[in-house]
């Protein structure tokens, strides 16, 4: 199983530090007025399919990470 970031992502960057494997990667930091949006993707070579990023405890605000 693989996990992917869908278009529901708000680019909040919350998930980056929550992945225990460091598999959620910021593509860029884009200053936008006072906000810094962080587009992210999941590196399939680092992801161990642990499921943390889709658990209720994890709390992605939009549930943007899904099993592919």
Sign of the CA dihedral running 48, 6, 67, 20: positive
Is residue 26 at the binding interface for ligand SF4, with CB under 6 A as the rule?
no
Nearest residue (CB) to ligand SF4, 28 versus 61: 61
Alpha carbon distance 30, 40 (integer Å): 12
Is residue 50 at the binding interface for ligand SF4, with CB under 6 A as the rule?
yes
Query: Where do contacts with ligand SF4 occur on this chain (CB under 6 A)?
Result: 3, 5, 9-15, 19, 21, 23-24, 40, 42, 47-53, 60-62, 64-65
């Amino acid at each position: 199983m693989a996990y992917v970031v869908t278009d529901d992502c708000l680019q909040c960057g919350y998930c980056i530090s929550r992945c225990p494997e460091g598999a959620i990667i910021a593509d860029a930091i884009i200053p936008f007025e006072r906000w810094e949006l962080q587009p992210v993707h999941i590196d399939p070579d680092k992801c161990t399919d642990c499921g943390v990023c889709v658990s209720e405890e994890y709390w992605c605000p939009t549930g943007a990470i899904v099993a592919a």
